[in-house]
Structure 1
Amino acid sequence: MKKLTLLAVFFMLLNVTFAGGLLTNYNQSAQYIRMLSRNAALEIDAVFYNPAGLVKLENGWHFAFYSQSIFQTREVNTEFPLLNDGYYKGETTVPVFPDLYGVYKKDKWAFSLGIGPIGGGGTATFDRGLPSFEIPISKAVPALAGLAQISPALAVTGYSADLSFDGSSTYWGIQLGATYAINDMFSVYGGVRVMPSVNAYKGAIENVMLEAGGQMNPASAWLTGASSTVSGIAGQATTGANLMYGTATQMQPVIDAGGGDFTLAQLEGAGYIDAATRSLIEGGLQYVGIPQEQIDMMNFVQLQGTYNAVGDELTATAGILNGTAQTLSGTAGAMEDREVDTKQKGMGFTPIIGINISPNDDWNIGLKYEHKTSLILKNETKVDDLGLFPDGVEGSYDVPGIITAGVGYRGLDWLEMQLSYNMYLDKGVDYGYNVRYNSVGQRVKREIDKNYYELGLGLQFNLSEKFAISVGGLISENGVTPEYQSDFSFTNSSNTLAGGFMWKITDKLVFDFGVSNTFYKDDTVVFTDPDVGEYDETYAKTTLNVAAGISYSIF
Structure 2
Amino acid sequence: MKKTFFTIVMNVLAVAVMAGGIVTNTNQSAAFIRMVAQDASVGVDATYFNPAGLTQLKNGFHLSLSNQYITQTRNIKTTYPGLNQTEFEGGVVAPLFPSVYAVYKKDKLAVSLGFNPIGGGGSAVFEDGLPSFEMQVAGLPPSLNAAGIPTSKYSYETNFEGSSVYYGIQAGVSYELNEMISVSLGLRYVMINNTYTGYLRNININPQFPVLGFTGTMVKAPTFFTSMAGLFGGLAGVAGSLQPLVDGGGAGLTLEQAQGAGYLTADQVASIAGGFALINPAIDPKTLNIGQIQGAYTLATPTFLAQQQAMSANAAATSDKEVDASQSGSGIVPIIGVNLKFDRLNVGIKYEHKAAIKVKNSTKIDDVGLYPDGAEVPSDIPSLFSIGAAFDATDKLKVSAGYHMYFDKSAEYGKRLNNEYVQNDKVMDNNLWEAAFGLEYSLNDKWLVSVGYLRTTTGVMDIYQTDLSHSLSTNSFGGGLRFKLNENLAFNLGVLNTMYIENERKFEANPPVPAYTETYNRKNFTAAIGLDLSF
Change (3 A) 1:433 1:100: closer
Change (3 A) 1:46 1:542: same
Asked if 1:340 is matched to 2:323, the reply is yes
Shift of 1:336: 1.1
Counting only pairs closer than 5 Å after superposition, residues 290-329 of structure 1 correspond to structure 2 as 312-329=295-312
SS of the residue 1:156 aligns to: coil
Is this contact kept in 2: 1:42–1:56, CA < 8 A?
yes
Counting only pairs closer than 5 Å after superposition, residues 454-473 of structure 1 correspond to structure 2 as 454-473=434-453
Shift of 1:533: 3.0
Shift of 1:218: 1.2
Counting only pairs closer than 5 Å after superposition, residues 34-113 of structure 1 correspond to structure 2 as 34-113=34-113
Rounded to whole Å, the distance in 2 between the matches of 1:2 and 1:43 is 62
Change (3 A) 1:448 1:242: farther
Is this contact kept in 2: 1:204–1:340, CA < 8 A?
yes
Larger CA Rg, structure 1 vs 2: 1
- Matching residue of 2:266: none
SS of the residue 2:145 aligns to: coil
Alignment deviations for residues 221-251 of structure 1 (CA, whole Å, 9 cap, x no partner) = 2210122233345555777899999999759
Rounded to whole Å, the distance in 1 between the matches of 2:357 and 2:182 is 30
SS of the residue 1:143 aligns to: helix
Alignment deviations for residues 316-350 of structure 1 (CA, whole Å, 9 cap, x no partner) = 34432332122101110111111111111221100
Is this contact kept in 2: 1:244–1:310, CA < 8 A?
no
- Matching residue of 2:384: 402
Change (3 A) 1:2 1:477: farther
Amino acid at match of 2:312: S
Shift of 1:175: 0.7
Change (3 A) 1:485 1:2: farther
Change (3 A) 1:219 1:537: same
Rounded to whole Å, the distance in 1 between the matches of 2:352 and 2:452 is 24
Rounded to whole Å, the distance in 1 between the matches of 2:77 and 2:169 is 38
Is this contact kept in 2: 1:238–1:314, CA < 8 A?
no
Amino acid at match of 2:499: F
Shift of 1:130: 1.3
SS of the residue 2:71 aligns to: strand
- Matching residue of 1:331: 314
Rounded to whole Å, the distance in 2 between the matches of 1:368 and 1:288 is 76
Change (3 A) 1:237 1:79: farther
Alignment deviations for residues 371-407 of structure 1 (CA, whole Å, 9 cap, x no partner) = 0012232222222222332333333211111000001
Amino acid at match of 1:221: T
Rounded to whole Å, the distance in 2 between the matches of 1:38 and 1:290 is 82
Rounded to whole Å, the distance in 2 between the matches of 1:337 and 1:288 is 36
Is this contact kept in 1: 2:414–2:421, CA < 8 A?
no
Rounded to whole Å, the distance in 2 between the matches of 1:188 and 1:356 is 6
Shift of 1:308: 7.9
Rounded to whole Å, the distance in 2 between the matches of 1:86 and 1:314 is 45
Amino acid at match of 1:219: A
Question: What TM-score, normalized by structure 2, do the two folds share?
Answer: 0.86
Between stretches 14-23 and 33-42, larger displacement belongs to 14-23
Amino acid at match of 1:480: V
Is this contact kept in 2: 1:444–1:483, CA < 8 A?
no
Shift of 1:200: 1.0
**Match 1:503 to one of 465, 470, 483:** 483
Q: Percent identity?
A: 38
Change (3 A) 1:73 1:459: same
- Matching residue of 2:210: none
- RMSD after superposition: 2.9
Rounded to whole Å, the distance in 1 between the matches of 2:421 and 2:150 is 32
- Matching residue of 1:429: 411
Shift of 1:6: 4.1
Rounded to whole Å, the distance in 2 between the matches of 1:541 and 1:70 is 13
Between stretches 476-485 and 214-223, larger displacement belongs to 214-223
**Match 1:515 to one of 491, 495, 513:** 495
Give aligned pairs, total.
498
Amino acid at match of 1:421: Y
Is this contact kept in 2: 1:238–1:318, CA < 8 A?
no
Between stretches 308-317 and 419-428, larger displacement belongs to 308-317
Shift of 1:216: 1.4
Is this contact kept in 2: 1:237–1:317, CA < 8 A?
no
**Match 2:523 to one of 525, 528, 542:** 542
Counting only pairs closer than 5 Å after superposition, residues 124-523 of structure 1 correspond to structure 2 as 124-148=124-148, 154-212=149-207, 213-235=215-237, 312-360=295-343, 362-434=344-416, 447-523=427-503
Change (3 A) 1:186 1:290: closer
Rounded to whole Å, the distance in 1 between the matches of 2:385 and 2:173 is 19
Rounded to whole Å, the distance in 2 between the matches of 1:201 and 1:289 is 53
Amino acid at match of 2:370: L
Is this contact kept in 2: 1:242–1:311, CA < 8 A?
no
SS of the residue 1:505 aligns to: strand
Is this contact kept in 1: 2:252–2:291, CA < 8 A?
no
Shift of 1:142: 1.8
Rounded to whole Å, the distance in 2 between the matches of 1:371 and 1:426 is 12
Shift of 1:3: 4.7
Alignment deviations for residues 514-546 of structure 1 (CA, whole Å, 9 cap, x no partner) = 001011011010112422332100000010000
Rounded to whole Å, the distance in 2 between the matches of 1:109 and 1:442 is 48
Shift of 1:13: 4.4
Which ranges of structure 2 fall in alignment gaps of 5 or more residues?
A: 208-214, 254-272, 274-279
Is this contact kept in 1: 2:103–2:110, CA < 8 A?
yes
Rounded to whole Å, the distance in 1 between the matches of 2:420 and 2:103 is 52
Rounded to whole Å, the distance in 2 between the matches of 1:184 and 1:6 is 62
SS of the residue 1:96 aligns to: coil
Is this contact kept in 1: 2:378–2:414, CA < 8 A?
no
Shift of 1:468: 1.1
SS of the residue 2:470 aligns to: coil
Asked if 1:526 is matched to 2:506, the reply is yes
Rounded to whole Å, the distance in 2 between the matches of 1:547 and 1:459 is 18
Between stretches 325-334 and 229-238, larger displacement belongs to 229-238
Rounded to whole Å, the distance in 2 between the matches of 1:486 and 1:242 is 59
Amino acid at match of 2:382: P
Amino acid at match of 1:429: A
Rounded to whole Å, the distance in 2 between the matches of 1:387 and 1:337 is 14
- Matching residue of 1:281: none
Alignment deviations for residues 127-154 of structure 1 (CA, whole Å, 9 cap, x no partner) = 0111122222222222222443xxxxx5
Is this contact kept in 2: 1:16–1:123, CA < 8 A?
no
Shift of 1:95: 1.1
Asked if 1:122 is matched to 2:103, the reply is no
SS of the residue 2:398 aligns to: strand
Is this contact kept in 2: 1:3–1:136, CA < 8 A?
no
Amino acid at match of 1:92: V
Which ranges of structure 1 fall in alignment gaps of 5 or more residues?
A: 149-153, 252-283, 296-302
